[in-house]
Amino acid sequence: MTKFDWPVGSNEAEERFGERFENLHLDTRISASHAKPLVNADPVVVPIYHSTTYRFKTVGQFNAPNHGSNFVYRRCGNPTTENVEVVINEIESGQGSLLYNSGLAAISAVFLEFLGTGDHLIAMTPIFSGTSSFINETLRRFGVEVTFVDVEKEEDFAGAVEKAIQSNTKLILVETIANPTMAVPNLLGTIEVAKKHNIRLAVDATFSSPYNIQPLKLGASFSIHSCSKYIGGHTDVIAGVVTVSSYDDWKRLKLQQLTTGSSCSPHDAALLTRGLKTLGLWVDRISSNAQKTAEFLESHPKVHRVYYPGLESHPQHKYAKQTMKKFAGMIAFDVGTADNAIKLIENLKLIDHAVSLGGTESLIEHPLSLTHGKQMLHDDELPPVAPGLLRFSVGIENVADIIDDLNVAFDKL
Ligand SMILES: Cc1ncc(COP(=O)(O)O)c(C=O)c1O
């Protein structure tokens, strides 16, 4: 064989059947045929494993510890999703990660596993509207008591959390940066309180990205991300992840995931693998673009107020600086009235008008008209969001063009 004579792939089914294979009908041979795996194949990027199930050579292999190093059924685990879990767990320095089919599935998994009837949850407010809907509409229906602690009103947020603790408090939930107002809790203080009272603390770190903060390293129990944002990063995948500080908690969540069927598709996992490869590059770029854009907005006469954790004027800048490397891409800014906010959005050309965030392209929305308005929430759940507030997800475009797009739109107000 010369070095250019490649071997023809062999049919595993033909080898398995031996002479009987040729006697099978064509439709059966098509169904049974598959390439014998190349034992030396070691792809640089973990491939997409579509298969819903995996062959076992013997019943003994199935019953062996960890099924003899095999997978069983996609809902229960898959090499492509496991790859993402390994990478995220590495970033977070956790005891294990679990990938879900959305960020909200990840958050609700933690709620459902660590809260039951008669338990008490303390949650920060404002918070992502989907999370508050799940708390108010589902957890309360199952008899979970809830206390919301307002991160904007409470000067001593950690102290207010401690005051809210009851004998049945089982979980505390905070976001690193609040959706949609960008308020930042005193995370270190809240971790101290949770530890002192031996209560699990879940941190939704979606807005800051896993590159800028790793809550488990600071002492949190769970780090949660909507991977649809600063992990996928390219606005083409919906997924979520929970990383835990305790292997026992990982086992509980894993078992729950098998029974609730909330695992992530391998196709989505492959997109996350791709996003993660360059995470540091684009999160750094987004963070520096957002810092410059926030500074521009702060100096603009038509802007009443800018909320960006990286600005010294941000009310909780000192807490953001304590825990985050940089401050990612989310800015809230107030242009006075809803009318101004809507006009500004409608005059933008580069910055797209859309919900979601954390991707390579700049996106803007008016929370009270879209994500945090009457369409999405009941009247008693509406967060105290100013009518002129805009939520802006800064992308990787050249920052001069982002600022120019805003400038042109401001001129038309
Ligand atoms: C802070 C935060 N957490 C969780 C989620 C939910 O993520 P997903 O849309 O992937 O379910 C979102 C969605 O916007 C969010 O902003």
Query: Which atom of ligand 1 approaches the CA of 356 most closely?
Result: 14
Once rounded to an integer, what is the mean pLDDT over residues 200-214?
A: 98
Q: If you search the block for the tokens 């979601």, which residue do you land on?
A: 356
Q: Are residues 129 and 213 in the same domain?
A: yes
pLDDT per residue as tens digits for the range 341-382:
999 999 999 999 999 999 999 999 999 888 776 666 666 766
CATH code of the domain in which 136 resides:
3.40.640.10
Q: Which of 141-150, 169-178, 383-392 has the lowest mean pLDDT?
A: 383-392
Residue 88 in contact with residue 243, Cβ under 8 Å?
A: yes
Output the CA 127–ligand 1 centroid distance in Å. Answer: 10
Q: Are residues 135 and 223 in the same domain?
A: yes
Query: Which atom of ligand 1 approaches the CA of 104 most closely?
Result: 11
The rounded distance, in Å, linking the Cα atoms of 401 and 39 is 51
Confidence of residue 8 (pLDDT cuts 50, 70, 90): confident
Output the CA 226–ligand 1 centroid distance in Å. Answer: 5
Q: Are residues 273 and 283 in the same domain?
A: no
Is 67 within a domain? no
3-class state of residue 318 by DSSP: helix
Of 277, 311, 332, the one marking the end of a domain is: 277
Pocket of ligand 1, candidates 175, 223, 228: which has the most ligand atoms within 8 Å of its Cβ, to mutate? 228
Q: Above 80 in pLDDT, residue 86?
A: yes
Is 8 within a domain? no
Of 277, 294, 312, the one marking the end of a domain is: 277
Q: Are residues 116 and 258 in the same domain?
A: yes
Is 69 within a domain? no
Pocket of ligand 1, candidates 177, 204, 206: which has the most ligand atoms within 8 Å of its Cβ, to mutate? 206
Q: How many domains does the chain have?
A: 2
* pLDDT at position 4: 75
Is 156 within a domain? yes
Is 110 within a domain? yes
Residue 228 in contact with residue 356, Cβ under 8 Å?
A: yes
* pLDDT at position 187: 98
Q: Are residues 115 and 139 in the same domain?
A: yes
Query: Which atom of ligand 1 approaches the CA of 207 most closely?
Result: 1
Is 30 within a domain? no
Is 78 within a domain? yes
Q: Which of these, 61, 96, 94, lies nearest to 81 by C-alpha position?
A: 96
Of 244, 277, 310, the one marking the end of a domain is: 277
Domain that holds residue 328: 279-411
Once rounded to an integer, what is the mean pLDDT over residues 138-146?
A: 98
Partnered with residue 203 across adjacent β-strands are 174, 223
3-class state of residue 199 by DSSP: coil
Average pLDDT, the chain: 95
Q: Above 60 in pLDDT, residue 258?
A: yes
The rounded distance, in Å, linking the Cα atoms of 210 and 389 is 26
Output the CA 39–ligand 1 centroid distance in Å. Answer: 40
The rounded distance, in Å, linking the Cα atoms of 252 and 237 is 26
Q: Are residues 262 and 308 in the same domain?
A: no
Q: Are residues 213 and 151 in the same domain?
A: yes
Is 59 within a domain? no
Please state, for a pLDDT cut of 70, what percent of the chain lies above it.
Answer: 97
Most confident among 2-11, 131-140, 362-371 (mean pLDDT): 131-140
Output the CA 238–ligand 1 centroid distance in Å. Answer: 9
Q: Are residues 89 and 173 in the same domain?
A: yes
* pLDDT at position 383: 63
Q: Are residues 246 and 366 in the same domain?
A: no
Which residue's alpha carbon is nearest to atom 7 within ligand 1?
Answer: 103
Output the CA 135–ligand 1 centroid distance in Å. Answer: 14
Ligand 1 site residues, Cβ closer than 6 angstroms: 102-104, 128, 130, 175, 179, 204, 206-207, 226, 228, 238, 240
Output the CA 131–ligand 1 centroid distance in Å. Answer: 8
Q: How many residues does the chain have?
A: 413
CATH code of the domain in which 383 resides:
3.90.1150.10
Q: Above 80 in pLDDT, residue 1?
A: no
* pLDDT at position 351: 98
Partnered with residue 134 across adjacent β-strands are none
Q: Are residues 335 and 192 in the same domain?
A: no
The rounded distance, in Å, linking the Cα atoms of 328 and 402 is 16
Q: Are residues 173 and 291 in the same domain?
A: no
Q: Is 66 left (phi over 0), alpha (psi -120 to 50) or beta?
A: left
Could you tell me which residue, 2 or 403, shows the higher pLDDT? 403
pLDDT per residue as tens digits for the range 27-43:
999 999 999 988 788 99
The rounded distance, in Å, linking the Cα atoms of 17 and 28 is 12
Q: Are residues 120 and 263 in the same domain?
A: yes
Output the CA 46–ligand 1 centroid distance in Å. Answer: 26
CA 386 to chain centre: 26
Q: Count CB-CB contacts under 10 A for residue 257.
A: 24
